[in-house]
Amino acid sequence: MSSSTDPTSAAYAQAVKELGLKKNIAKALEIPDRELTVEIPFRRDNGEIESVVGFRVQHNNTRGPFKGGIRYHEHVDIDEVRSLATLMTWKTSLLDIPYGGGKGGIGVDPRNYSKTELERMSRRFFRAIDPIIGINVDIPAPDVNTNAQVMSWFMDEYSQLHGYSPAIVTGKPLELGGSAGREAATGKGTAVITRETAKKWNIELKNAKVVIQGFGNVGSYAAKFLHEYGCKVIAVSDVTGGLYDPDGLDIDSLFEYNSANKTIDGFDQGKKVTNDELLALECDFLIPAALGSAINEKNVDSLNCKVIVEAANGPVTGSAANKLWDKKIAIIPDILTNAGGVTVSYFEWVQNLQQFKWTENDVNQKLEDKMVNAFNEVYEVKKSKQVPMRIASFMVAIDRVHVAYNLREG
Ligand code: NAD
């Protein structure tokens, strides 16, 4: 993506301009602190050695240790990892979490490997990045195609070298120091942000019409909490298509059905709609919670919502966002909406360092406070500077890093 169409680069440039940041500082904050590329040799089940390439990019640690996930995907390369690491710096800053930004990955399609092969690959990768990580230095987490099992291997590998160290990764199973509330965190955060948006946009939350694209981890929990807040979730979809009921879907039953079947396909309520039809439904809140670029030049004119709440990463393209601004359809940006996951990851790390477990209620209350504070800060900047919520979010995030950077470097 060129910087003019990539919403993140465009938002960074505009936010820097609005903040009046000097060019040298804007450039300094863009350059990653460190990039590591490693060879990962591991044995296949047939006895042959195979080598793959892995990366860890540490973008900025002005406000705290580097933080960010590790993904396994054939599209992973240094450019993608660098831009995701940068985004993590702004996301942790926006939520005022004492972390910087990092990201990592291996350029493989994990479906081509057995579980034992993935274990050997994962352990070797973690050993290869060991010189630059640490519980107060860089704390990885799960991302696309990695999960609590991969985090357990990472934690075990690191602990063999350095002694028992659950705080080296987050997203672990509960039994190994994972946090209560982590599974629901991103969906819960999305619901909290939607609720706060309703207040500011004067939309009655009770019976507000909500449409959600994607019913995976984020979409299903967002639906569950919004339903609990009294919203009417009129349509949801997954990769198989969507279900629509103007009177509101029975979210509790659908959540259970989806947990058991890993799809909403076959659920016996609602009219079937395609994903394109779903995006065009008249509603108060449209929540894309599946893919990047789901709302783009091709479908943006068909939208019929008041607000888009970006639960997925980058679901609205830059050019679609410009059109929506002209049409006065607000976008609540991903960097704010889906930050619940990294926030509870931070809580997991704090619990590990304290060797103390918080209750789910503790975690949820603290998550709620963090999300509401961040939302209000962004909204104040939006109002005072008359900028979109995305630009206001980047302004809050960049300014916080900038102030800390000046104090340390000045
Ligand atoms: P997931 O794999 O659990 O769920 C993805 C959902 O999207 C599934 O229901 C899938 O069927 C659906 N989907 C896939 N292709 C689709 C298509 N073409 N049309 C409609 N639906 C489709 O993933 P997730 O963890 O829920 O993540 C969703 C998004 O949120 C991603 O963009 C992810 O990067 C972002 N995100 C997730 C977290 C987290 O904590 N899980 C945190 C931050 C951001």
Domain coordinates in residue numbering, the chain: 32-168, 185-335
Place of tokens 């969507």: 242
Q: What is the pLDDT of residue 291?
A: 87
Q: What is the pLDDT of residue 7?
A: 61
What is the distance in A from the centroid of ligand 1 to the CA of 28? 33
User: What is the second-level CATH architecture of the domain 185-335?
Assistant: 3-Layer(aba) Sandwich (3.40)
Cβ(167)–Cβ(353) below 8 Å: yes
Our answer on whether the CB atom of 239 is closer than 6 Å to any ligand 1 atom is: yes
What is the CATH superfamily name and number for domain 32-168? Leucine Dehydrogenase, chain A, domain 1 (3.40.50.10860)
Nearest to 161, CA basis, from 204, 122, 126: 126
Cβ(221)–Cβ(289) below 8 Å: no
Cβ(104)–Cβ(56) below 8 Å: yes
Q: What is the pLDDT of residue 6?
A: 59
What is the distance in A from the centroid of ligand 1 to the CA of 215? 7
Q: What is the pLDDT of residue 193?
A: 98
Measure the CA–CA gap between 351 and 179, rounded to whole angstroms.
8
What is the distance in A from the centroid of ligand 1 to the CA of 290? 4
Nearest to 171, CA basis, from 156, 153, 151, 186: 151
How many degrees, rounded to 5, is the angle at CA 223 between CA 315 and CA 338?
40
Measure the CA–CA gap between 308 and 92, rounded to whole angstroms.
22
Task: Return the residue whose CA atom lies nearest to atom 8 of ligand 1.
Answer: 216
- Among 17, 22, 67, 103, the active-site one is 103
Q: What is the pLDDT of residue 410?
A: 67
103 noted as active-site residue = yes
Mutate which of 179, 193, 217, 255 to test ligand 1's pocket (most atoms within 8 Å of Cβ)?
217
Measure the CA–CA gap between 143 and 9, rounded to whole angstroms.
21
Task: Give this prediction's pTM.
Answer: 0.95
- Tokens standing for 139? 């704390």
Mind listing the pLDDT tens digit of every residue in the chain (410 residues)?
333 345 678 899 999 999 999 999 999 999 999 999 999 999 999 999 999 999 999 999 999 999 999 999 999 999 999 999 999 999 999 999 999 999 999 999 999 999 999 999 999 999 999 999 999 999 999 999 999 999 999 999 999 999 999 999 999 999 999 999 999 999 999 999 999 999 999 999 999 999 999 999 999 999 999 999 999 999 999 999 999 999 999 999 999 999 999 999 999 999 999 999 999 999 999 999 998 899 999 999 999 999 999 999 999 998 999 999 999 999 999 999 999 999 999 999 999 999 999 999 999 999 999 999 999 999 999 999 999 999 999 999 999 999 999 999 86
Q: Are the folds of 32-168 and 185-335 the same?
A: yes
What is the distance in A from the centroid of ligand 1 to the CA of 187? 11
Q: What is the pLDDT of residue 101?
A: 98
Atom of ligand 1 nearest to the CA of 240: 11
What is the distance in A from the centroid of ligand 1 to the CA of 338? 11
Strand pairing category for 209-213 and 282-288: parallel
Our answer on whether the CB atom of 221 is closer than 6 Å to any ligand 1 atom is: no
Distances (CA, A) of 263 to 20, 257, 310: 48, 8, 21
Our answer on whether the CB atom of 241 is closer than 6 Å to any ligand 1 atom is: no
